[in-house]
Amino acid sequence: MRRVFAFLVVLALLAILWEGYKLLGALWGGTWPILGTEMRPRPGDSSMPHVWDVIAALFAPARRNAEPLILTLFVATLYTLREALVGFLVGALVGFSIGVVFVRSLSAERAFMPYVVASQTIPIIAVAPMVVVWGRQLELPGWTMVSIIAAYLTFFPVAINTVRGLRSPEATATELFDSYAATPWQRLTKLQIPSALPYIFTALRVSAAASVVGAIVGELPAGFADGLGRALLQFNQTFAADPAKLYAAVLMSALGGIVFVGAVALAERLTLPSARREVTT
């Protein structure tokens, strides 16, 4: 409950800052005081609509004789979150598997870790079209291509934190397992994975947000008409005439990511006691 209250307070402060910037722009004629330079961005209604205008746009029809925009965006958000969820699960599994292999084999880590790191230096805007083209050549369902892009952004934080977490048990605990002649599987499941869970959940929270971004970006070259990517692109094209709709779509995208991250945080809270959750925070 405290976190919900803090979130609402931060949201209210952002709205106040937004409206305050617009008010200063109106009082000073779009220029900074003393310096005399133009404000960037200009706080006019054509580029920065009022907060209440954005909220009103959510409940106004998206088109003539259409349902309210919030319902359209809600359906689009569910569609995008489905793609993100599949990519998140696949990416988390791949990242965890890579982390286990690296911990079990130092040679594999030295050989392949540079490539894992280098994979994250490629802009997602360049990866997405290639995945879409290859997916169409392989005749994959369209949504799976978007999920692959989401998985691409998910696996790296999980892999890195899994390596860190699996190596976190204290030396005395490792020596105790050695004294009992524990097998590698027993050491992994009874010592290393339980010790790594706080690190893994930290990575999962980061990856949850990244998977939503990957799904939205992946929908653009895929040409989907049902997800948030299409809605953002459509409202971006009409931004000059009706900027409130684009901000409303951005707001729904952010809420979708917050819900996704919140679900991971809830799973962490149900899985780990509070003392262990504080290990990596």
| Domain locations in the chain as residue ranges | 1-48, 49-277
d(CA 111, CA 74): 45
Average pLDDT, integer, range 188-206: 90
Q: What is the rounded CA–CA span in Å between residue 99 and residue 160?
A: 7
Confidence of residue 184 (pLDDT cuts 50, 70, 90): confident
Name the more confident of 94 and 63.
94
- Residue 180, both tokens: 């009992």
pLDDT tens digits along 93-140: 999 999 999 999 999 999 999 999 988 888 888 888 888 888 888 877
CA angle 246, 248, 253 (to 5 degrees): 95
Question: The CATH number of 49-277 is which of 1.10.260.40, 1.10.645.10, 1.10.3720.10, 3.40.50.880?
Answer: 1.10.3720.10
Q: Tokens representing 103?
A: 């911990």
Tens digits of residue pLDDT in 226-238: 788 888 888 888 8
Whether the per-residue pLDDT at 273 is higher than 60: the answer is: yes
- In this prediction, residues 176-186 reach a mean pLDDT of 82
**Per-residue pLDDT at 277:** 54
**What is the distance of C-alpha 12 from the center of its chain?**
22
Whether the pLDDT of residue 275 is over 50: the answer is no
Mean pLDDT value of segment 235-248: 83
Average pLDDT, integer, range 238-242:
77
How would you write 140-197 as a 3-class SS string?
CCHHHHHHHHHHHHHHHHHHHHHHHHHCCCCHHHHHHHHHCCCCHHHHHHHHHHHHHH
Long-range contacts of 265-270 (CB under 8 A, 24+ apart): 265/205, 267/201, 268/201, 268/204, 268/205
The number of helix segments (H) and strand segments (E) in the chain equals 12, 0
Q: Round the average pLDDT of the chain to a whole number and report it.
A: 84
The whole model's pTM is what? 0.83
DSSP 37: P
Range in 54-68, 93-107, 186-200 with the lowest mean pLDDT? 54-68
Using a 10 angstrom Cβ sphere, with 0-12 exposed, 13-18 middle and 19 or more buried, the burial of residue 262 is: middle
